[in-house]
Structures are given as structure tokens and as C-alpha cells.
Amino acid sequence: MSKRFILYNPLSSGGQCSAAASSLKAEYGDGAELRDITAIGDYGEFFSGLGAGDSVIVCGGDGTLHHFVNDMAGIDPACDIYFYAAGSGNDFLRDIGRSRKDGPVLINEYIRDLPVAIVNGEERRFLNGLGCGLDGYVCREFDRLKALKGHANYTAIALKALLFSFRPRSAVITVDGKEYRFDDVWLSATMFGRYFGSGMKVAPRQDRTALPRQVTVMIFHCPSRLKTLMTFPKFLQGSHEGSEGVVILTGTEVTVSYEQTATAQVDGETVSDVTGYCVKVKQPEKAL
């Protein structure tokens, strides 16, 4: 009899992921088996142990899925892989037009040939996007406050950073060989999906399914903190295109360099002491 292996992240969403995984197992009965995803050390060995007709359900949030696609890099499993959103952000699911109420969603085609970012010398595949600026700062504060208080709000942290604590930087951004220089950069996000930060529609026209594949680079630079604060609500709605200081570029190879170190985020996972990053897009053989 074929089995469903439910890989859950006990650290995701304050323990709610474990409860969601248990509910899934109860729904599937004896045909399902729970596995702690943080305890899987070798995905080659894990997938080789699956039988014909077996399937895998990854249960967690965007961070869980980010680690999963990186830990299994170089492996193309023959089995069906599903994603069941049990996190707090769920930007990946939002981008593909699905929601938690849809239950487990088949994702094999979405996790093949992902773009690769090189950050601090380390390669990372990503599903949604990455950036080195206000978004990285906010993700770092989100993690800190969540660990301290048990909860945090991305938008509230961003507003506080805009008002007081975040300092914009100068950046050099190269897209497909063409160089651009900007001062007073608040955001420089490179997006494979449209959303980050639990629903901020940063790249409204980005399409992960289009061929040839590309990423969208969204830069926002502005010398005025007040004007930046006034523009910020447009990012929540995805209506910032055409606003003063907003530059949108598309391409397949991106390099971003900062004059000072900053915190980066890759699919919401923070990386400290970053002075830049590179992104390369891989072209699949066919559209999704």
C-alpha cells in the first residue's frame, strides 16, 4: 500500500505546524506517516527509501519550504511532492493562486530549476525573493521579537523602521550586464514571485511560470523619510509602479552591491553582514 509521508517542521508557526501535521495524519489514517523534517539529514537516502506510489507532503511555512528545496538540491524525486501551508506568511502559496483551505498542493513543477542566489559565498535556491535593505532589517527584527515575545507583526516593524531606525544606503545594481547606481536605497528586492513579508505585492508583474524565466528587481530610493513613509502603503497593495523613486528592472543575471554591510533576507530567512548578492536564473525545458 502506498504511503504519504508528512514532513513537518516543529519550529514553524509557534508549534501550530505540529498540530496541522497531526490533523493531516488523522485525516489520512494508517496511510500516512509523520516525519520531523529537521531530523532528515540525507534526502537522497530518504527519497530512495520511498516505494512506488508513495508521496510526500511538506507541512510548514515559506521558511520550511525554502530549507526543503535547498536541502534536496540536485535531487529530482520521482514521487509527488505536496505543500501544506502551516506558516504565518505563506507568500509562495499566495503567488501560485492557492490558499491554505485548498489543502495539500502539488508542487513538483514549482520546485524544479529554481533561481540561485549567492549570498556571502553560499548558494541558495529561492522560491519567492531576496533583498538587502529594509526587508532584511525587518525580517531580522521580526525574528528577534517573535523569539522574545512569541509574536510579531511585519507591517508594524516596517513602519517603525521607516519612521526611525532604518538608514538607506547607496547601491550598485547590475542586471544582465547593465549597471545602475542609486543613492538612498530603501529596498532592492530581487523577486521570483510577486510577494514577500506576508502579502506585500512587491513585484506585481512578475510571473514564475513564464518563459523565458526571469526575475524582477524592484528598487526604491528616496532621500526623504516622510516621502518614503507616504509611498509605503502602495507596496502593500502592489500599486507602487510609477511612483517617484521606484525602479523596476527584469533580467536573468543580477548583482547587487552595497557600500556598507546590511542584513539580507532570502525567502524570509535572514543573513547578517552582507555587502551584496548575485542571482542567476535557470531556464527549464518547458513552462509550468
Query: Could you count the other beta carbons within 10 Å of the beta carbon of residue 31?
Result: 13
Give the Å distances, CA to CA, from 27 to 42, 61, 91, 102, 155.
28, 20, 25, 14, 35
CA end-to-end distance (rounded Å), the chain? 30
Please spell the DSSP secondary structure of 176-218, one letter per residue: TTEEEEEEEEEEEEEESSSEETTTEES-TT--TT-SS--EEEE
Task: Based on the fold, state whether residues 180 and 241 are members of the same structural domain.
Answer: yes
Model confidence over 103-155: pLDDT tens digits?
999 999 999 999 999 999 999 999 999 998 898 998 899 888 888 887 788 88
- 280 pLDDT higher than 90: yes
Which cell goes with 269? 530567512
Give the domain extent around 176: 116-280
Max Cα–Cα distance, the chain, nearest Å: 63
pLDDT number for residue 15: 66
Task: Based on the fold, state whether residues 254 and 121 are members of the same structural domain.
Answer: yes
Model confidence over 44-70: pLDDT tens digits?
999 999 988 999 999 998 989 999 999
Model confidence over 241-259: pLDDT tens digits?
999 999 999 999 999 999 8
For residue 17, tell me if it sits in a domain.
yes
Identity of the amino acid at 142: F
CATH number for the domain spanning 34: value is: 3.40.50.10330
Q: Assess contact for 197 and 135: CB atoms under 8 A.
A: yes
User: Which residue, 265, 279, 272, is CA-closest to 117?
Assistant: 279
pLDDT number for residue 193: 97
- Classified as helix, coil or strand, 24 is helix
**How much is the average pLDDT of 24-40?**
92
pLDDT number for residue 286: 60
Model confidence over 195-219: pLDDT tens digits?
988 888 999 999 999 999 999 999 9
- pTM tops 0.85, yes or no: yes
CATH number for the domain spanning 151: value is: 2.60.200.40
